[in-house]
Structures are given as C-alpha cells and as structure tokens.
Amino acid sequence: MSSVAAGALPIHIIVTCANRKRAPIPKGLRLGDLRDHPEAERFPIWAERLVATTPRIPAIDLYGGEHWQAVRALHQAVNGAAHLWVCSAGYGLVSMDAQLVPYSATFAPGGDDSAGSSPAAMREWWRQLTRWEWPAADASRSFADLARRDPRSTIIAVLSESYMRACSEDLQDAAAGLADREQFAILGPPKRCAELDEFVVPVTAALRPVVGGSMQALNVRTATHLLIAAGDNLRFSVLRKLARETAQSAPPDPARRPVGQKLGDQEVRNYIRQSLSDGPSTATSLLRRLRAAGQSCEQARFHGLFAEIMAEAG
C-alpha cells in the first residue's frame, strides 16, 4: 500500500480484537464476572470498572497470538497511510494507540465472557459501547460516526463472523453515511450475515496458500495482501475482484485435507490445544473453523475431545 499524500482523504481500517492478552487480566474485568447481574444491568458496571482500573497499555501492545501478529504486520504495511482501529467487545471502537486495561470480553457466542446470550443481546451490547463516551468525546465511537465525520473517507472493516453480526446495524449505517458505497468494504467470511453480504469482500480458505498462516489469522493476512495489491485504489469492486482472482489462481493448500476425510482423535486434540493457545474459545466456534478449513470431525466426538482438553487444563 503506497503512502497517502498529505491532505488525502482519510482511510480507516478496523480489525477484530484478540482473545489473548499480553498482560494479566485484573479481577472483575472478565465479562463472566458479571453473570450474577441481569444482562440489562451489566454495561454500567463494566464501564465503571474499565475507567477505574489501572495501569493501561496501548491497544497495539495489549493483544497477542497469531491473529494479532498479523495485525501488527498490517500496521507496518500501511505505514501511516491509514488510521487503524480495533473493534473490541470490551471497549467498542478504539484506536491503536488508545490506552486500555487488560480485559476479557468477546462477541463469540457460548463462552464465559460472551457479551450476550443471543444475537439481539450482542447487538445491544455493541450499541451501548457506541454510546459510551470513553475516554475522550472527540474520538469516534462507531463505524457510522467515522462515516459521518467525513463522508468522503474510506472504511475497510476486517472482521470475524461473530463481530460482523454484533456490529451489523452500525456497519449498515456507516455504508449509508458515505458519499459512495464503493468506499466501504467488509473483509471476512461470505454468506454469514445476510444483511451485510452486499458489502463483503469474501475471505475463504482458498486464500490460505497465498497469504500463509492459519485460519485464525486469515482475514488480516488477506487484508494486508489485498491492500498492498490494490495500492491507492481501495474501492470495494477492486478489492472484491482481487480477492476473487487470488482465490481462483491460488495453488492447492497442502495443509488442507479432502472434504469428508475425518481427522483422528489425536489430530483433533492437537488442533484444539493449538487453537486454545491463542486464547479462550468454544467447542462450537473451533469446530466451525475446522470445517471451514476443509477438515472433518463429528460434532459429538469433537465436543467430547474439547471437554477432555479443558478438563486437563483445569
């Protein structure tokens, strides 16, 4: 991605946060700690705890794991040509230099620290985050606000499925607020959120032989690849065309087993352990990711092996 000349229109790139944190999480800053409170009463308590807790760490240095290593590579690749933001279930929309305390919160369903027990509850949690004036009122708190502040800007959201779903209404508002729909793109899995599909630049397992890494970092690695290839032309249609051409010309993935060929128990155990080393997750989300990579395991067997690994860890 070439440097943006002074005075050029702003480019905003937003990435999903990471489960793994590089510092200990203080007591009370896991969303699961609020499970005894009614869902409707949790947000004010959560916000108060975030404000009251110190010390804080810049967002770029807070997160860890393979996904975040790819984010740091993206940060270096854009080299000041774009504003990078984090889509966080704990803090909302924050810049890479925002000072955060370690926390555990996610929009992935089914976990102890999930932001809601239903898709509607997840969306409501994001709405509350966008209305929360933290820490400075002059910082954008939503995708839609980025668009309102400058309708000529470009917004590229690099999001996982669960974060797309939680932010879906805000993302639609952002697209509607821009002067040109071509200035808006979501890089992520296709056909997972019907109301957003028209904006999605599809990121699929077919791209992994080109961009490298595991499925966990695929969205961000693909974003880096496409942004460099697109240069100064970051229009939606250009990014989508590049993604399609890259997928079509990609070599076979040597790490991908034929669809329907089942993994053995030990292979599944190794996959679960490796995935959990990058941060907490649920059996359902890990199985979904395994299948998206073209591998196979029966649901009951996978859940049993997941429970076995978790019992070992406990």
- Residue extents of the structural domains in the chain: 11-249, 265-313
Instruction: Give the range among 28-42, 77-91, 129-143, 215-229 with minimum mean pLDDT.
Output: 129-143
State the DSSP code for 291.
H
Instruction: Give the range among 58-72, 175-189, 236-250, 253-267 with minimum mean pLDDT.
Output: 253-267
Identify the band that residue 284 occupies on the pLDDT scale cut at 50, 70 and 90: confident
Q: What's the whole-number mean pLDDT along residues 146-160?
A: 96
Residue with more model confidence, 296 or 227: 227
Q: Per-residue pLDDT for 257 more than 60? A: no
φ, ψ (nearest 5 deg) of residue 106: -150, 155
Q: Per-residue pLDDT for 133 more than 70? A: yes
Q: What's the whole-number mean pLDDT along residues 58-75?
A: 95
Q: Per-residue pLDDT for 301 more than 90? A: no
Q: Per-residue pLDDT for 234 more than 60? A: yes
Tokens (6 digits) for 182:
């071509």
> pLDDT tens-digit profile of 267-280?
888 888 878 766 67
Q: How far apart, in Å, are the Cα atoms of 51 and each of 30, 43, 60?
A: 14, 12, 19
Tell the burial category of 217 from Cβ atoms under 10 Å away from its Cβ (0-12, 13-18, 19+). buried
Contact between 102 and 29 (Cβ < 8 Å): yes
Q: Per-residue pLDDT for 225 more than 90? A: yes
Q: Per-residue pLDDT for 258 more than 60? A: no
Q: Per-residue pLDDT for 3 more than 50? A: no
Q: Per-residue pLDDT for 7 more than 60? A: no
pTM for the complete prediction?
Answer: 0.80
Identify the band that residue 4 occupies on the pLDDT scale cut at 50, 70 and 90: very low
Contact between 201 and 240 (Cβ < 8 Å): yes
C-alpha span between 276 and 128 (Å, rounded): 29
